Amino acid sequence: MWRRLAALVRKELLVFLQDPRARIVVLAPPVIQLFVFAYAATFDVRHVPLAVLDRDRTGLSRAFIARLEGAPDFRLVRASAEAELRRLIDRQRVVGAVVIREGFARELLAGRPAPVQLLLDGRGSNTAQAVATYLRRIAADFRPLETEAERPRAPPLAVRAWFNPNLESVAFVVPALVAMITMVAVMGVTGLAIARERELGTMDQLMVTPLRPLELALGKLLPGVLLGLVEGALVVAVAILWFEIPLRGPLLTLALALLVFAVAVAGVGLMISALVRTQQQAMVALFFFIAPAAILSGFATPIDNMPDWLQQVTLINPLRYMITVVRGVFLRGLGLEELAGEIWPMALIGLITLTLAALVFRRHVT
């Protein structure tokens, strides 16, 4: 059995690497995804344009503006009138505006809270909220006058972000790409495997070989899993070497989880492949699985933010567990013990998808 299986796997890999279409599906996406996602998928606020209008025009107001200027979060755009602010925000030239009201210095000197207005563009409410947080942080540390307080001062917040001290999206996005790219590769190969033979008419030839149905199914499954694992490993390497994301947990846990995950999604791919008639249909079917799986995985936005019914739906999504594992190992340094709770659901999903794939395979292929 092993000899026959090995021969089939070898044939599959060879066919695959020689077919230009298949190469496009499997080799172009990881590179494009890795670099576009890693650089574009950002919620960070870095040098965002922020307008500032100084209506106080005192040394103290200028000191506050200097403080804003020093922050890496903003790029300041000076405005000279209220109407100009409106125009800048309307046309999305700036994400918001800081207005230092008249009497800023007077109130500060009197020990009363000095008025500052922050106008934000709600068309990008997430960026706007990040700007507000950073401005509050700067304002909290702005104490230009050391006055003797007659009342106790509010205790300052000492903020520390664990695992990602500078709160960079790249640390959130790149590890998750290990799971995403593995999934696309595994499904790309297994999803097209049988459809291609059908389209080319070579399926009948395979049927008359001494291969048993189980061997045939395994032979269609393994090349995808193998290629997926290779691509996953490459992304891990790029994450560490190029994006400089530290790998804090055990690599072995990551490898084990990735194997379980690859087999689970290979089951889905094989099922699709056995059901469709052409490669074109296979691609559309793959899209119907991959797009929802990616959106409902916590890859870009947290699952916690979804309505409850949709959170329940994500429980059947293998990508959801794999993304938790890969972020856990990379950033949190967690090991097998802590992540077992994420790995067994993937194993269970894999068992179900493989069983279904076997049933579909027997019915539609052999």
Residues 13-52 that bind another protein (CB under 8 A): 21, 24-25, 28-29, 32-33, 36-37, 39-49
Q: Tokens 């990881």 — which residue?
A: 30
Point out which residues pair with 48 in neighbouring strands. 74
Residue 222 or 319 with smaller CB distance to another protein: 319
If the CB atoms of residues 61 and 353 are measured against another protein, the closer one turns out to be 61
With contacts defined by CB under 8 A, name the span among 110-118, 224-232, 236-244, 261-269 that binds another protein: 110-118
3-state secondary structure of 203: helix
Q: Considering only residues 308-337, where is the footprint of another protein by CB under 8 A? A: 310, 324, 327-328, 331-332, 334
Q: Give which of 5, 4, 98 is closest to 51, Cα–Cα.
A: 98
CB nearer to another protein: pick between 4 and 101: 101
- Kindly state whether residue 305 participates in binding another protein, applying the rule CB under 8 A: yes
Distances (CA, A) of 242 to 39, 238, 245: 12, 5, 8
Name which of 165 and 210 has its Cβ closer to another protein: 165
Q: Collapsing DSSP states into helix, strand and coil, what is residue 48?
A: strand
Binding-site residue total for another protein (CB under 8 A)? Answer: 108
Phi, psi dihedral angles at 298 (to 5 degrees): 85, 10
Nearest approach, Cβ of residue 346 and another protein (Å):
17
Least distance in angstroms from the C-beta of 213 to another protein:
26
Residue list 167-196, contact with another protein (CB under 8 A): 167-169, 171-172
Token readout for 25 is 């599906």
CA 259 – CA 282 distance, rounded (Å): 23
Q: In a 3-state reduction of DSSP, which class is residue 171? A: helix
In terms of Cα–Cα distance, which of 129, 191, 163, 156 is closest to 360? 191
| Pick from 239, 236, 269: nearest CA to 255 | 236
With contacts defined by CB under 8 A, name the span among 76-84, 90-98, 236-244, 255-263 that binds another protein.
90-98
Least distance from another protein to the Cβ atom of residue 330, Å: 9
The 113-142 contact track toward another protein, x by CB under 8 A, reads: xxxxxxxxxxxxxxxxxx-xx-xxx-xx-x
For position 83 contacting another protein by CB under 8 A, the verdict is no
**Rounded-to-integer distance, Cα 176 and Cα 159, Å:** 26
- CA angle 354/207/17 to nearest 5° reads 70
**Distance between start and end Cα atoms, the chain:** 18
Our CB check for another protein shows the closer of 29 and 250 to be: 29
Residues 209-228, one symbol each (x = binds another protein by CB under 8 A, - = not), give --------------------
8 Å CB contact between 211 and 241: no
Considering only residues 256 to 285 of the shown chain, the ones binding another protein according to CB under 8 A are 279-281, 283-285
Closest CB to another protein among 269 and 328? Answer: 328
Give yes or no for residue 352 binding another protein (CB under 8 A). no
Which CB, 79 or 358, lies closer to another protein? 79
